[in-house]
Structure 1
Amino acid sequence: MADKAPARTAEGHALGDLGRRLAARRAVLGLSRRETATRADMAPGYLQYLEEHPGAAPGRGTLLRLAEVLETTVRELTGGDTDLPRGLGQASRSPEFTSLSVPECRALLSTHGVGRIAVPTASGPVVVPVNYSVVDGAIAFRTEPGSTPSQASGCQVAFEVDRIDDAFSSGWSVLVRGRARTVTDPDEVRRLAEGARSEPWAGGHRDQWVRIDPLVITGRRITV
């Protein structure tokens, strides 16, 4: 028997993860399901249905209202931008560019689970993403011995996290510069493991902990 095709919107996007995206966006904005439904002029029960049933296929009008309430786009809600680079939208008419204080930078660092580390190699700098945690003020991540991230050990590195909101042409970035080292002390390894917020997405046997002790932390924000 052939597999059933995934539900699609009027724009043709698969809706298999629409519910997850709706719930995640609500969480980012701190909105309850009832608050979101009220603002989108729909019954809370219908929003619950959309979030809990992968086959739900709302019309374009419903998606537009939800996108407006959740301060995002229909493309983002339906996963149509998954493989697109961020920041394709046009700049706003009156953007405001500001520097972030060190406490603000540290607060933003602690909310993220994926960042990019610039590693010096024999052929030049290489930038790779890693799953990270902030433990005792330091950035820590697990990697595989011999991998590109593991080559950061003993080097001065740069580490960056950001968030881009294409719907409003806004966002922020935080840059950390410091020295990386491999953690070998068993007590410190245990402390890092207990404070880790997630497992490495790449999978595999990644038991080498690398720690970056920040020397300089800077950040910038663009708001409308």
Structure 2
Amino acid sequence: MDTQLAGRPDDLGSRIRYRRQALGLTRAEVAHRAGLTVARVDHIETRPFTLTGAELVRLAQALDVSVDGLTHAERPRSPSRAPMAPRLEPMRADECLRLIESRSIGRIAYAGAGELIVIPVNYCTLDRLIVFRTAADSAVAQYDAEPIAFELDFVDEGMHDGWSVLVNGTVRPAVDLEIEAVRDRVEPWAGGTRDTYLVIDPHHVTGRRIRAW
């Protein structure tokens, strides 16, 4: 018989929600992976619950994490046991694109004035395109079909894992139809007048995950 594990949304439930969001997964996707209903996942994330051991194992597998990592259980330490080496795993392009779509802040890198410039940007997606806003007199706003890189990542220091996505492509001014489609979807945190919409056309999308267990 499964052991009943008590949980509250401010501990295990919140960690499950945090892990799911970090992976860019919907509740429906986690429910499908774990063999649960969407309503059950919603209940676990938002309200007091009682979780069976079997459910905990399936949720950990669905979220690509160990049970101990998900529950933050204390692990016995042995000085004679060597730590596990981190493992890098490539991600599929569709997984990378899903992570890009699930977030709104990334970094762009481009050549300017004889040096490489890397700055954070607020962005949104339009199909496979990445759209951001900048000032009309910025260096990147002068580009048209110039090379650019876009990167975003996530690091969970507690679980010792994370991921990174890199997009190589070109940047160009957005056309009127693209501007209308995203006008209310991207708002730069930096403020000021940033009414120039730029589009990154991805040519190559890659990603990697690092795991320490």
TM-score (norm 2): 0.62
Structure 1 Cα separation of the partners of residues 204 and 16 of structure 2: 34
1:162 corresponds to 2:150? no
Is 2:13–2:45's contact at 8 Å kept on the other side of the alignment? no
Structure 2 Cα separation of the partners of residues 171 and 152 of structure 1: 32
- Write the letter of the residue equivalent to 1:122: A
Residue 153 of structure 1: CA displacement? 4.0
- Write the letter of the residue equivalent to 1:178: G
1:44-66 superposed Cα distances (whole Å, 9 cap, x missing partner): xxxxxxxxxxxxxxxxxxxxxxx
Alignment of 1:127-206 (within 5 A): 127-183=118-174, 185-194=175-184, 196=185, 198-206=186-194
Distance 1:109 1:182, change over 3 A: same
Is 1:116–1:161's contact at 8 Å kept on the other side of the alignment? yes
Residue 170 of structure 1: CA displacement? 0.6
Alignment of 1:1-224 (within 5 A): 27-29=17-19, 31-35=44-48, 93-183=84-174, 185-194=175-184, 196=185, 198-223=186-211, 224=213
Over the aligned positions, Cα root-mean-square deviation in angstroms equals: 3.1
Identity of aligned residues (%): 36
Residue 70 of structure 1: CA displacement? 7.3
Distance 1:24 1:32, change over 3 A: closer
Is 1:116–1:129's contact at 8 Å kept on the other side of the alignment? yes
Residue 175 of structure 1: CA displacement? 0.4
- Write the letter of the residue equivalent to 1:102: A
The gaps in structure 1 that reach 5 residues or longer are 1-21, 40-67, 72-91
- Write the letter of the residue equivalent to 1:159: F
1:105-139 superposed Cα distances (whole Å, 9 cap, x missing partner): 11111111111100111221100000011112101
Residue 192 of structure 1: CA displacement? 2.4
Distance 1:190 1:173, change over 3 A: same
SS in 2 for 1:201: coil
> Which protein is richer in strand relative to its size?
2
- Write the letter of the residue equivalent to 1:192: V
Distance 1:115 1:151, change over 3 A: farther
Structure 2 Cα separation of the partners of residues 179 and 206 of structure 1: 20
Residue 166 of structure 1: CA displacement? 0.7
Structure 2 Cα separation of the partners of residues 157 and 69 of structure 1: 37
SS in 1 for 2:183: helix
- Write the letter of the residue equivalent to 1:190: E
Is 1:142–1:208's contact at 8 Å kept on the other side of the alignment? yes
